[in-house]
Amino acid sequence: MGKIKKGGMIGMANRYWVGGTGVWSDNTNHWSETSGGSPGASLPTSDDNMYSDANSFTATGQTVTVDQVGYCLNMDWTGALYNPTFARTAGMINIFGSCTFITAMNMTYDGALSFYATTTGQTITTGGHTFYATWSFNGVGGGWTLQDAVTISAANIYQYAGTLNTNGKAVTCRSFSTSGYAARILNLGASVITCSVLWTASIADLTFDAGTSLIMLTGDNHSFTGGGLTYNIVELQGDFITIANSSTFNDLKLTAGKTYSFRDGTTQTITTLSGDGTSGNLITIQSTSAGSPFTLSKASGTVQKHYYSIKDCTVTGGAGWAAFDSVDAGGNTGWLKTDYLVDENNILQPLNVKVMRDSSIDLMPEPKADTDTIPGRHGEIYFGSKLGARAIELKVLASDFTAEEREDLKHTMAAYLSPIGDAKALVFADDLEKQYMVKYAGKIDPTQYPTWLQFVIPFKSALSYILGSFEEIQIGSGTITNAGNEETPLTIEIAGPVTNPSITIGTYTLIYTGTIDSGSTLIIDVEAMTVKLDGVNAVPDYSGGFPWLSAGNTTVTAASAGTTTFRYRGRWS
């Protein structure tokens, strides 16, 4: 039996376009019950298939024009001859099944396409045409699989319900949104999804499989709202992009010269953070709210970035994070600050020369005898010994350089390796936890060949110990771990309000007698043996000494009120 349809007609049937050029609403002249049959059939409804086939058109230049809201079950242009045109003057099309356009037709239709199927197994074939208005997927329980690329110029795709499988096909649109009122499944496969404005996802009622897809956001001043999902590759090509929600990325790609604002309080978990800036074209990453950080997290390994400007960014998760030739704009936690890095490819940054395997580091600094002479006594008096400077020699190779490039390298090295000034930090990527504070000591005698140089860079350690690269922070009571094998100093900050605060570090109890008001901070610097309240000496009101952290674990307890923060770095002999 028939039933009332959205088109207001009764019956279930196929509807064939006949009579060449015409408008959708003209059933008198253009809709037939059979292929090439007589016109006069009712308009297609949501249960009726719409066909344009070999008997629909008689000459080139003929057009089907949508002039009202139209309905059909399946729309199929397979077999249509003479390159017909699908056009529109008003209305839109609602499709309750599959949709098949063909390459051998013209597409000027600029209305919306809404898909309302309530069963799976539907397909969509665009024939390679560009569309000009919104596509929406609305059918609860429906399922659609793309058969070829989808290109929607300056308009959006909305998934409100059902299952959408992009099937590895390219999708290009203004914005892509999956959120709505019913259960949804979105499978991207190996698709490349290009959005010029927005990507928006809501995790509610959504099952999401990113597959091996790539999502690109190309426009400026827009946003990526990840919805807490796990993505494969997301590439942000636009400028002034906002990243909202905490999400997970196999690879988050950033672009030189662009600015990215991450929603404060969110955590982006990554496997790879791709993209480096260049000199004069920094990548800027910052929080959406100054002073309120966002977090980047990676479970292990190292992240090495070049030419970044970084503000209000906390890095965590177990990996080492390092930025070179970059700007620390403030509010950052966990980033490694170093001057020299032997990276994962054994390249000495920023000099860009190869470090050879037969480079050497003294296992222990050379001991030096502490002796002196006393007038009237024969010989020298021995007062014991002390550690000298640890020697570090990096044997490097600069290959595939022109003569001019070799001279430039020499000048660059002469400026960067200058022994004048403070010691510089040297870190090896395979042991980012440790930092050698070194000064250039000696001279370089290069062995020069037609296209490469080989030489040794001699360093001396400015410290008798190796310093931890990263500042460790413990807020409140807990167990803190000095991963080194030597004692290390720490700094304790007690922020008010609190009166007569008492803290413990292992078996030591540290007490300040007095009131720390709200907005004030007491700082105990163990290495400097100073105690200051808002920068003013407070040693007279302090007791408990200046205990160092032993290697391994130490239990600490915070003050009973306010906020207590413990800061330290590991030390190794």
Domain range annotation of the chain: 242-337, 347-360+390-466, 471-572
Assess contact for 547 and 524: CB atoms under 8 A.
Answer: no
pLDDT at residue number 339: 77
pLDDT at residue number 457: 80
Query: Facing residues of 565 across strands?
Result: 475, 493
pLDDT at residue number 300: 80
**Positions in the chain whose pLDDT score sits under 50:** 1-10, 363-374, 376-387
pLDDT at residue number 388: 52
CA–chain centroid gap for 323, Å, is: 15
pLDDT at residue number 338: 75
pLDDT at residue number 355: 84
Cβ of 387: how many Cβ atoms within 10 Å? 15
pLDDT at residue number 347: 80
- pLDDT tens across 200-210, in order? 999 999 999 99
Distances (CA, A) of 394 to 41, 52, 358: 87, 75, 8
Q: How far apart are CA 318 and CA 165, in angstroms?
A: 35
Distances (CA, A) of 502 to 495, 526, 549: 13, 16, 18
pLDDT at residue number 415: 66
Q: Which two tokens stand for residue 277?
A: 């800036």
Q: Which two tokens stand for residue 328?
A: 């620390």
Architecture of domain 471-572: Sandwich (2.60)
Q: What are phi and psi of 104, to 5 degrees?
A: -85, 55
Q: Would you say the pTM of this structure is higher than 0.85?
A: no
Shortest CA distance to 84 belongs to which of 63, 113, 53, 102?
Answer: 63
Using DSSP's 3-state secondary structure scheme, residue 46 falls into coil
